[in-house]
A and B are shown apart, each in its own frame.
Chain A
Amino acid sequence: MAMNTEKNSYTVIFSIVMVMVVGSVLAFLASALRPRIDENERFEKQQNILYAMGINENTPDSGVNFIPTDVVEGEFGKYIKEQYVLVNGEMVADDQAFLVDMKKQLSNLKDGGEARLPIFIGEKEGKKSYILPMHGKGLWDAIWGFMAVDEHMVIQGVYFDHKAETAGLGANIKMRFFMDDFQGESLLNGGSYEGVVVSKTNNDPLNQDKEDNTVDAIAGATITGNGVSAMIKETLKVYRPYLDNIRTN
């Protein structure tokens, strides 16, 4: 006898069974794959931090090339000498600081709560880099990154990434031609923290003027570019006590 698929009771039972099956499949998949995904995310963060301080496999004409995943853990331990979190102006050593969720910490800070702001001190060929994580908003969703500065507040390198910026437009903030422009820019202007602004009217496509606190914007990505400028400004604001400390010592 054929089933009557139009009965309300059948529809309800079908819905329940379907939700249970789909829920079980997705829950099983999520829990089975979670350790691998976590590991990938951990390696990615290490690659991003190292990239910002110039430890990468870029060649002059290449795109963005990270340290390979299979060696990144060793390289991270080799180059990142100290990891701290800044809590109420106090530096606390934390060897897992790179796992701190910056979005959550900035949100805590906005709500007036306590935040743990990670800081990494790297050393390459005797030169120290202070690497600060950043988090902000692009056009569609979150943008984030890492910025390495020296003791004079000159940018050694940056790495930007995004969750859902438009391909070919805002998504280009993670392209090398954009990120490379930040190298050598000073965060200071006349002793005060000005940051670096992504500018549509820079008229300096080769980015030769490293004292102007601006880099060229990406065509068609105004809001994402403004998001990058705001993110740098916000980073300088929250890390100000730490940066002052580096400059005076």
Chain B
Amino acid sequence: MALLSKKDANLILDPLADNNPITIQVLGICSALAITAELKASIVMSISVIFVMGIGNVVISLLRNVIPSKIRIIVQLIVVATLVIVVDQVLKAYAYDLSKTLSVFVGLIITNCIIMGRFEAFALGNGVWRSFLDGIGNALGYGVILIIVGFFRELLGSGTLFGIPVLGDPIAKTGLYSIGYENNGFMIIPPAALIVVGVIIWVQRSRNRALIEEA
């Protein structure tokens, strides 16, 4: 017997492509703009969101029959804020260097609308296992886009990947810089993320025309 049924597997796979939270649902754009100037930051943010969203969806799903509907948004906020604080404190105690890298991103997780969106749209109406898979799937979909954006922004903007120079030394003019290549300063400012996300959306829709909305 397969580990996951086809329906369960789709909860993981759909958000990676045809129902991606960033490129299809256009959620989570703020953090995609804020933190993707570096590949490392994109990866760290993705891992943190996978944790918070996976556990958060499980908690909301467990509580779904007892949460008063009038205060459900507040309850969801409390759950995500609590998980973010737990992540932050545990990292500070046991992975201090990583917590320094995360710094501002941990706080940004609270404002990530994908998390609240999945709590509201899925976890409140589904069982624990399926909610967990949905959380992991959507966080992975978010992470994939973040990593692609981070890769291109850091490479074209700074000529580095994970902080390591891969195109040469821009000051001493070695590598690509020796033949006239210049780092594109525009790529390291936040609007560049919108352009990279736009290009990903364009590529995705041209490969799968079913995603194009009719006018």
Give me the interface of A with B, judged by CB distance under 8 Å.
Answer: 3, 5-6, 10-11, 14-15, 18, 22, 25-26, 29-30, 33, 36-37, 40, 44, 63, 69, 140, 162-169, 175, 205-206, 219-220
Contacts and interface: CB of A to CB of B under 8 A. Distances in A.
A44 B96 CA distance: 9
Contacts, number: 87
Nearest to B90: A33
B208 interface: no
Contacts of A25: 82, 86
A14 B82 CA distance: 17
A69 B78 CA distance: 35
B93 A168 contact: no
B90 A220 contact: no
A209 B158 CA distance: 24
B3 interface: no
Interface of B: 34-35, 37-38, 41, 65-71, 75, 78, 82, 85-86, 89-90, 92-94, 96, 100, 103-105, 107, 153-154, 157-158, 163, 171-172, 185, 188-190
Contacts of B107: 164
A40 B96 contact: yes
Contacts of A15: 71
A17 to B, nearest CB: 10
Nearest to B183: A219
Given A14-B66, A69-B96, 9 more contacts: A11-B70, A15-B71, A29-B86, A30-B89, A40-B93, A166-B34, A168-B41, A168-B154, A169-B189
Given A37-B92, A40-B92, A40-B96, A167 B75 contact: no
Contacts of B37: 166-169
B153 A168 contact: yes
Contacts of A166: 34, 37, 190
Given A5-B69, A220-B185, A163 B94 contact: no
B72 to A, nearest CB: 10
A40 B100 CA distance: 11
Contacts of A29: 85-86, 89-90
Contacts of A168: 37-38, 41, 153-154, 157-158, 188
24 contacts: A5-B66, A5-B67, A5-B68, A6-B69, A6-B70, A10-B68, A14-B66, A18-B75, A26-B86, A30-B89, A37-B89, A37-B92, A40-B93, A63-B163, A166-B190, A167-B35, A167-B38, A168-B38, A168-B41, A168-B154, A169-B37, A206-B171, A219-B185, A220-B185
Nearest to A221: B188
Contacts of B68: 5-6, 10-11, 14
B93 A220 contact: no
A26 B71 contact: no
Contacts of B69: 5-6
Contact of A37 (B78, B93, B153): B93
